[in-house]
Structure 1
Amino acid sequence: MSQLLLVEDDAVLAEALSGALRGLGHSVTVAGSGERALTALFEEGAAADLVLLDVMLPGIDGFEVCRRIRARGSVPVILLTARGDPIDVVAGLEGGADDYVVKPAEPRVLDARVKTVLRRATLAQPADSAQRVFTLGELSVDRAAMVVTNNGSEVHLTPTELRLLLEFVDHFGQVLSRQALLRRVWDYGYTGDSRLVDAAVARLRAKIEPDPANPVLLRTARGIGYRLAKP
């Protein structure tokens, strides 16, 4: 059973959505504001495998809550946005969200998204032990220990960022299209949102590139996707 923290200020909607998710097998705690969610997570130690976060909140909005969650941990975040507004979506993804769902969210769709995001935390171990540690310049990926280091310091990645990096490691030197990455990392088909990929790549570059504005490891194949290559 997954532990979900639902951050929603509309009490009627929160009750309906939490009840539906409980009926689908999840344990749900509700926070009515961003401040309450942050207190529950970081001061009260509330258990949460994933945060369902409304964008439009009184006080601290969902974007800021997401940034604060990401600054202090790797718990997955799915944004609940009232509109599919590109600005809202991109701002949320750049702030560290793993995915987004447009409200009103159909419970079974949301359940599927939750399960997909949580699956990213369970990564298959390679059969060949020789493949377990990958080194590229100052970047090291120990797949057995699920530890990434850069310049000797551990790099803290979210499950989505880690799975994305492992896809590039497993296909080193190959160009991976955005749609291929959506299938392999997000478990999405043709209709997946390529902005998920672009935002996750930008966050990954910020953590592994010497100069994220001029990437030398994770390179863009214009009009296609990305590839991991020697600097």
Structure 2
Amino acid sequence: MRILLVEDDKTIAIGIEYSLTQEDFSIIPCHDFKSAQQVLAEELNQIDLCLFDLSLPDGSGYELCKYVKQHSDIPVIFLTAIDDEVNVVMGLDMGADDY
């Protein structure tokens, strides 16, 4: 299973990537919106799951989710410290499968 991990905090990203590779998942790490957008444009049909942070230095995980859901049925999970009810509802309304 190939997982697109978009997390701008490299320490958190390394921890998540380590944990998932220990379970034999293949990780495509991105640390900003632009690189994630490029991966999605080039490899969308090869990705099985997307894990998105909301706050990226050059964009939003919401925008990435919207793109994924417009072009595929790949599951999207938001991994973020932003847990206000309005943000959770907005993420799920955009098509995220979990928050």
Match of 1:65 in 2: 64
Residue 83 of structure 1 and its aligned partner are, at CA, apart by 3.2
Rounded to whole Å, the distance in 1 between the matches of 2:35 and 2:90 is: 22
Match of 1:25 in 2: 24
TM score, norm. by length of structure 1 = 0.41
Rounded to whole Å, the distance in 2 between the matches of 1:16 and 1:88 is: 24
Rounded to whole Å, the distance in 1 between the matches of 2:94 and 2:39 is: 20
Match of 1:85 in 2: 84
What per-residue deviation string (whole Å, max 9, x for no partner) do you get for residues 153-177 of structure 1? xxxxxxxxxxxxxxxxxxxxxxxxx
Match of 2:38 in 1: 39
Identify the structure with bigger relative contact order (alpha carbons < 8 Å, sequence gap 6+).
Answer: 2
Asked whether the equivalents of residues 63 and 95 of structure 1 are also in contact (C-alpha less than 8 Å), the reply is yes
Q: Provide the identity percentage.
A: 38
Rounded to whole Å, the distance in 2 between the matches of 1:36 and 1:96 is: 21
Identify, as 1 or 2, the structure richer in helix: 2
Residue 62 of structure 1 and its aligned partner are, at CA, apart by 0.8
Rounded to whole Å, the distance in 2 between the matches of 1:85 and 1:18 is: 26
Asked whether the equivalents of residues 38 and 69 of structure 1 are also in contact (C-alpha less than 8 Å), the reply is no
1:123-162 equivalences under 5 Å are none
Q: Secondary structure at the match of 1:99?
A: coil
What per-residue deviation string (whole Å, max 9, x for no partner) do you get for residues 189-216 of structure 1? xxxxxxxxxxxxxxxxxxxxxxxxxxxx
Match of 1:99 in 2: 98
Rounded to whole Å, the distance in 2 between the matches of 1:37 and 1:7 is: 7
Rounded to whole Å, the distance in 1 between the matches of 2:73 and 2:82 is: 26
- Cα RMSD, aligned residues only: 1.3
Residue 75 of structure 1 and its aligned partner are, at CA, apart by 1.1
Q: Secondary structure at the match of 1:83?
A: coil
Gaps of 5+ in 2: none
Rounded to whole Å, the distance in 2 between the matches of 1:64 and 1:75 is: 15
Residue 84 of structure 1 and its aligned partner are, at CA, apart by 2.4
Question: Which protein shows a greater Rg?
Answer: 1
Rounded to whole Å, the distance in 1 between the matches of 2:52 and 2:13 is: 11
Residue 25 of structure 1 and its aligned partner are, at CA, apart by 2.1
Residue 41 of structure 1 and its aligned partner are, at CA, apart by 1.5
Rounded to whole Å, the distance in 1 between the matches of 2:37 and 2:97 is: 18
